[in-house]
Amino acid sequence: MNMNYALLLIAVPLAVAFLQPLFGMISKKFTKWVTFLTLAFNFVYSLCLLNYVMTNGPQIAVIGNWRPPFGINLYLSALSLFLATIIYFVGTVVSFYFIGIKDKPIDDKLSLVMLLVVGAAGAIVMTGDLFNMFVFIEILSIGTAILIASRDKGLSYKGALKYMIFGSIGSSMLLFAIGFTYGTLGTLNLAEIALRFHEINPTLASFIVLMFTGGVFVEAELFPFNMWVPDSYEGASPHINAILSGIVSTAGIYAIMRVFMTVFGINIGDRIVIYGKLNFNAILITIGVITTAIGELSALTQKNIKKILAFSSMAQMGVIAFAIGIGNQIALTGGIFHLFNHAISKALLFLVAAMIIRNIGSADIDDMEGFGRHNKFLAIIFAIGAFGIIGIPFFNGFWSKMYIIDGAVMRSTPWTYFALSFILGAALIEAFYYFRIIYKMFNDKKITAKNRIHPFAYISVALLAIVVLTVGIYPSLFSNILNHASAGIFDRVQYITTVLGMGVLR
Amino acid sequence: MKKTEFITGSFIALTLVVLLGIFFFQALFQPSYEGKVMPVDNVNLKNRVSLHYVLKNVNNASKYLAMHGMRYFNNRSSVPSQTITYGKSKNLEEGSANEVTSIVVNYRGFDTLGEVTVLFISIIGITMLIGGVVEKKWIKPSLIVRTGSKFLFPFILLFGVYIFIHGHLTPGGGFPGGAVIASGFLLLLLGLENYRFNTKASKVIESLAGLTFVCIGLIGLFTKNSFLANFIPTGTVGLLYSAGMVSLIYVVIGIKVGAELSTGVAELKEGNKND
């Protein structure tokens, strides 16, 4: 199997996106179907590639026949393809949901932008080149801003503007980091940087890491760069929020994992420490704790269901940052698993929230009292998603949080225990506000439905709920992939030799 | 936005900027005994990947890396290279006389595909969100502008086409060429009173040009087994018919950028009425 054909995963969405304006002249509905079919193709193809990589080990795809440190390459490992598969899966489900909602005049452009955002997120998790990652982060952030602004209300413009400001500051910081890296090492290839990053002066290395932080923390919704989250999520349509939460933040967290650990990290004992003068692992743990605490406490005070879910999404990103900061393999496995669970459950929650909002015409949780009596199916699905996020036993979030706690306990320094207590306390708060919503839904009260819901919407949420339940009941389904994925982050030598060839260590 | 929120935000931003600034200056003035590579002293411009792009010896460098391993990274300039003579050297691995073009379109062509997409999605966003806001302030042009824009338009178009066709030989290329073409259409939109830009046709051209770019990449994938691989002989350096697919891609980019920017400018003026 020629792995260079993996480029189809990026080339096909781009080609179809270029053609979407022509399809839009035929029919708006048709563009939605085209987006759905393209993403479905990507999902199936990435599953095939994942299957191949699991048996044959990580591979690279070369672009333009220029071998890696000189040209651009894709790195196809269990982690990249696993995350790409999740991204395409969530994209497929959301675009299927998107077919069902009422047509608006700008829908052809929206489905185009959606396709580009999902395609770019897939490219970020597969690329092996720093500047290439930057280009696709640009596409991702511009596309996300357009998606947020597409609701055509004052609030959504405000949210989009905030996201644009943060996104452009982040991008310019990222460009600084890339410039310094190229200026000192003379290369942009991730594997070569990983091989030679310890040659850089530690102070400068820390500076590069800090600058890089600015770029990816915006997408990953982590603390100093997440002030856009509440306004943007409130302003955007709920199904767009499913993309923001399930796809954009997944790509951001992948960039943190890959670049901070494999590229900027050095192996010390059983864990990876980020090279440089600063103890960046402790900073990441602190950032994770702050993000989680702020997110959960803010979610507690909100009445708007979109804002609650947005803050909850921020908090989960904090948990994953905490897992990355701990830096041993168990915690990292938990982090990747939690990323998967979060993408699926949060997409599910946002889609159900979209349907509820459409059905009763209000996003306030007080107006949802009695919704469970009115529409049992949706309320139960919402409860499944919420249980998955909280981590009730036999739902998917339980297993990933167990992994993270296990890893944190294995690290066993006073600071980790202190941080862990915060994470666990935050999980309690989270359980409280989710149970409050579920309790309100199943209260006995008569409500009147306003709008009908399209059957496609039911199918898409049911699909996601099935995944949540399957993973919860049978968590070892993915254990093989997850072990390979976290080992792929840890085995830096394997990353370098796969990309640059075995001879490089001579 | 509340005032307190703004003050807190600016305080956090200021703190971050000061911290980063301290960090930056510390790195600049630190002695270099801790790590080998420093930003100020000892920067060796020849120890960068771009050296091979300029000397067109990437394939040699790949072989050299496979043979010598780690030693390659400390001494990139020891990779053997051949002398390139303008107008004489034939069938090099990469045939454009303009070094920047060879990097942008060939060695790192995938990034350019991404950049084209960035422009595409930005124009889509602009026309979707703020289309048709400029028309209110339109002032009737004077006689000189009306005559001059009609007279100059073909020359501007010709100059734009010249720039992107010669992208692999002279400075410039697809993006500047496209921008020049769009400026010609902007002149018409501003200078002629009842000029209507054909947005539909322009969109069709733009879509097909974008598709052609991806298809050139896919032809490389299917014939040479690698996306965006060169599948046309590179010819003699410095001739118009040289550089293989590089010139082809730059023509496509020029057409695409020209159509795209023109559509953007026209829709800013007229609004997208066909929706």
* C-alpha distance across the termini of chain B, in Å: 34
Write out chain A residues lying below 8 Å of B24, CB-based. 207
Residue B1 has what pLDDT? 55
Q: What is the pLDDT of residues B172-231, one digit of tens each?
A: 888 899 999 999 998 888 888 778 888 888 889 989 998 999 999 889 888 888 888 888
Q: Does A227 touch chain B (CB under 8 A)?
A: yes
Residue B97, pLDDT > 80, answer: yes
Residue of B nearest to A169 (CA): B13
pLDDT at B35 over 60: no
Residue A83 is inside which H or E element, if any? helix A78-100
What is the per-residue pLDDT for A84?
A: 92
Which residue, B92, B81, B82, B227, is CA-closest to B168?
A: B92
Task: Please identify among residues 146-165 of chain A the ones whose CB lies closer than 8 Å to any CB of chain B.
Answer: 146, 149-150, 157
Q: What is the mean pLDDT of residues B136-154?
A: 82
φ and ψ of A200, to 5 deg: -75, 145
What are residue A253's phi and psi, to 5 degrees? -65, -35
Tell me the C-alpha to C-alpha distance, in Å, between residue A134 and each of A63, A72, A181, B200.
17, 13, 13, 32
CB contact under 8 Å between A207 and B27, yes or no, is yes
Out of B128, B210, B229, closest to residue A64 by CB? B229
| Whether pLDDT at B43 is above 80 | no
A139 touches chain B (CB under 8 A): yes
Burial of A25 (0-12, 13-18, 19+ CB in 10 A): middle
Q: Give the confidence band of B33 by pLDDT, cuts at 50, 70, 90.
A: very low
| Minimal CA separation from B257 to chain A, in Å | 13
Write the CB contacts of A251 (distance below 8 Å, at least 6 apart in sequence).
A83, A87, A120, A121, A124, A125, A137, A140, A219
Q: How far is B4 from chain A (nearest CA, A)?
A: 14
Report pLDDT digits (tens) over B102-119. Answer: 888 888 889 999 999 999
pLDDT of B275 higher than 60 = no
Q: What's the gap between Cα A342 and its chain centre?
A: 8
Say if the Cβ atoms of A64 and B70 lie within 8 Å. no
Residues of A in contact with B114 (CB under 8 A): 123, 132, 135-136, 138-139
State the smallest CA–CA distance between residue B116 and chain A in angstroms: 10
Size of chain A in residues: 506
* Residue from the list B16, B48, B227 with its beta carbon closest to the beta carbon of A4: B227
Please tell me the predicted confidence (pLDDT) of residue B24. Answer: 63
Record: contact A72-B122, CB cut-off 8 A: no
For B120-142, b where at least 16 C-beta lie within 10 A, e where not — what string? Answer: bbbbbbbbbbebeebeeeeeeee
> What pLDDT is recorded for position B26?
64
Main-chain dihedrals φ then ψ at residue A62, nearest 5 degrees? -100, 140
pLDDT, position B23: 66
Q: What is the structure's pLDDT at B117?
A: 92
Q: Which residue of B has its CA nearest to A113?
A: B121
Minimal Cα distance from A60: which residue of B? Answer: B226
Beta carbons of A204 and B111 less than 8 Å apart:
no
What's the pLDDT tens digit per position in B44-88? 667 788 888 888 888 888 888 888 878 887 778 888 888 888 888
Q: Which residues of A touch B47 (CB under 8 A)?
A: 186
Tokens of A95: 């675009």
CB A89 within 8 A of CB A250: no
Cα separation, A368 vs A366, whole angstroms: 5
- What is the pLDDT of chain B when averaged over all its residues? 81
Show me where the domains of chain B are located: 3-78, 99-270
B231 inside 8 A of chain A by CB: no
Quote the tokens at residue B199.
């947005």
pLDDT bin (cut points 50, 70, 90) of residue B40 is very low
pLDDT, mean of each 10-residue run, chain A (506 residues):
84 90 85 90 91 87 85 89 92 89 78 91 91 92 89 82 88 89 86 85 83 86 83 85 88 89 84 82 86 87 87 90 88 90 90 86 80 82 88 85 88 84 88 88 77 82 88 83 86 86 75
Note whether A5 contacts B221, CB cutoff 8 Å.
yes
Asked if B121 lies within 8 A of A139 by C-beta distance, the reply is yes
Residue B16: which of A25, A195, A224 has the nearest Cβ? A224
B63 touches chain A (CB under 8 A): no
Rounded to whole angstroms, how far apart are CA atoms A239 and A32?
Answer: 14
What residues of chain B lie within 8 A of the CB of A26, using their CB?
Answer: none
- Angstrom distances, CA of residue A57 to CA of A61, A76, A126: 13, 9, 15
